[in-house]
Amino acid sequence: MVMSNAILAGVELGGTKCVCVLATAAGEILAEERVPTGSPGEALPAIKTILRGWFESDRAFSALGIASFGPVEVDRTSPRWGQIGQTPKPGWSGVAIAQELSGGLPVPVALDTDVTGAALAEQRWGAAAELRDFAYVTVGTGVGVGLIVDGSPIGGFGHAELGHMRIARMPSDSWPGSCPYHGDCVEGLAAGPAIAARSGIRASLIAPHDPIWNYVGHAIAQMLHNIVLTATPRRIFLGGGVMTAQPQLFPIIRQALLQSINGYVSSPELDRIDEYVVAPGLGVRAGPLGPIALAAGVAGTESGRISRIA
Interface contacts to ligand ADP, rule CB under 6 A:
14-17, 138, 140-141, 192-193, 203-204, 240-242, 245-246
Stretch that binds Zn ion, among 23-31, 39-47, 162-170, 204-212 (CB under 5 A): 162-170
Q: How many helices (H) and strands (E) does the chain have?
A: 12, 10
Stretch that binds Zn ion, among 12-20, 185-193, 236-244, 266-274 (CB under 5 A): 185-193
Residue 24 or 164 having the CB closest to ligand ADP: 164
With CB under 5 to 8 Å by kind, the binding choice for 141 among Zn ion, ligand ADP, none is ligand ADP
Rounded CA separation 198/35 (Å): 28
With CB under 5 to 8 Å by kind, the binding choice for 15 among Zn ion, ligand ADP, none is ligand ADP
181 binds Zn ion (CB under 5 A): yes
Query: In 10 A of CB 247, how many CB atoms?
Result: 11
With CB under 5 to 8 Å by kind, the binding choice for 297 among ligand ADP, Zn ion, none is none
Strand-pair category, 236-239 with 134-139: parallel
Residue 7 or 216 having the CB closest to ligand ADP: 216
Residue 80 or 202 having the CB closest to ligand ADP: 202
Residue 25 or 143 having the CB closest to ligand ADP: 143
Out of 19, 101, 148, 179, name the contact with Zn ion by CB under 5 A.
179
Q: How far is the CB of 89 from Zn ion (least distance, A)?
A: 14
Give the strand order in the sheet containing 143-149: 152-153, 143-149, 134-139, 236-239, 277-278
Position of minimal CB gap to ligand ADP: 192
Q: How far is the CB of 220 from ligand ADP (least distance, A)?
A: 13
Q: How far is the CB of 219 from ligand ADP (least distance, A)?
A: 14
Query: With left for phi above 0 and alpha for psi between -120 and 50, is residue 146 left, alpha or beta?
Result: beta
Q: How far is the CB of 69 from ligand ADP (least distance, A)?
A: 7
The string of DSSP codes covering 268-289 is HHHHTHHHHEE--TTGGGHHHH
| 8 Å CB contact between 299 and 63 | yes
Question: If 0-12 CB within 10 Å is exposed, 13-18 middle and 19+ buried, where does residue 181 land?
Answer: exposed
| Residue 1 DSSP code | -
Rounded CA separation 51/193 (Å): 30
Residue 102 or 141 having the CB closest to ligand ADP: 141
| 8 Å CB contact between 277 and 224 | yes
Residue 169 or 234 having the CB closest to Zn ion: 169
